Amino acid sequence: LKQILKQKLITNCVKFEQPPSLFAKEHDSVTIKCSHDDNSLLYMLWYQRKSDSTNMNFIGYRYISGDAVKEEGFKERFDLKRDGDVKGDLIISKLVSSDSAVYYCAAKEHSAAD
């Protein structure tokens, strides 16, 4: 079984919401939804933290338009979707036991360096 814990946090007065814990069987797919309340934050980023580590693995990000940009190791079974300015999904397909982790979403503004 895979467990993904609910995360609610407020950063710079922006409220983020993610779903409660999710459980799924190996080989299934799971969708983790995230939303925030600031439509100026046009990038949605996703991170993974496994229970045996304090490190966060950067999965990738998606702008409100265009394709997702994903790190090596997350390109095959991980997909990032956007639903407007403030909503996004992380979709993990063909689950394996090593996918068991806490997943975090974050958002950031567009900058000239992006």
> What's this model's pTM, rounded to 2 decimal places?
0.82
The upper half-sphere exposure of residue 105, i.e. CA atoms within 13 Å in the direction of its Cβ, equals: 31
Domain 8-108, CATH number (from 3.40.50.720, 3.30.460.80, 3.40.50.300, 2.60.40.10): 2.60.40.10
What SS3 class is residue 46? strand
pLDDT tens, position by position, 29-78? 999 999 998 989 999 999 999 999 999 999 999 999 889 999 999 999 99
Query: What pLDDT is stored for residue 20 in this prediction?
Result: 74
Enumerate the domain spans of the chain: 8-108
Residue 16, pLDDT > 70, answer: yes
Residues 6+ apart with CB under 8 A from 72: none
